[in-house]
């Protein structure tokens, strides 16, 4: 295995990507030095990317609003999902947080991923 170290610069990142491409072309057998090198480099690249180009998770309320726009839904269309006209308004205006029942309904009815919706659970009232 080559001398592998933590990726700290764009130049090191590019070199690691190039090496991963070389190793992918070789397609090493599992549990060999080359496959271990490929795995370690992949982990280091992922760590560098997360540190330098992390993408924030989407805001649950913004996702709900986006889905509403995509499906041409009005606030009144969310009443069966959220509970009442006032709750829909309060939720969309961030005066209340998502309850587990709302999360379940939004996931089931609008197919919003649970991991997006659970981001807001700490604000539940």
Residue 96 has pLDDT above 70, yes or no: yes
pLDDT of 6-55, one tens digit each?
A: 999 999 999 999 999 999 999 999 999 999 999 999 999 999 998 898 77
103's tokens: 């999360």
Dist CA 105 CA 17 (whole Å): 42
Domains and CATH numbers, the chain: 10-53 (no CATH), 60-123 (1.10.260.40)
Task: Say if pTM beats, i.e. exceeds, 0.75.
Answer: no
Give the separation between CA 119 and CA 49, rounded to whole angstroms.
Answer: 22
Report the candidate in 14, 19, 112 with the shortest Cα–Cα distance to residue 59: 112
Q: What interhelical angle do 10-26 and 33-53 show, nearest 10? A: 140
Question: Residue 64 has what pLDDT?
Answer: 96
Beta carbons within 8 Å of 25's beta carbon, 6+ residues apart: none
Q: Model confidence at 2, in pLDDT bands (50, 70, 90)?
A: low
């Amino acid at each position: 295995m080559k001398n592998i170290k933590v990726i700290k610069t764009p130049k090191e990142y590019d070199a690691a990507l190039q090496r991963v491409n070389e190793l992918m072309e070789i397609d090493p057998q599992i549990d060999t030095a080359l496959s271990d090198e490929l795995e370690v480099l992949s982990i280091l690249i992922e760590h560098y990317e997360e540190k330098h180009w992390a993408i924030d998770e989407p805001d649950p309320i913004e996702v709900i609003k986006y889905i509403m726009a995509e499906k041409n839904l009005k606030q009144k269309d969310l009443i069966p999902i959220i509970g009442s006209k006032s709750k829909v308004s309060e939720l969309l205006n961030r005066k209340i947080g998502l309850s587990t029942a709302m999360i379940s309904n939004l996931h089931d009815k609008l197919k919003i991923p649970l991991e997006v919706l659970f981001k807001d659970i700490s604000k539940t009232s």
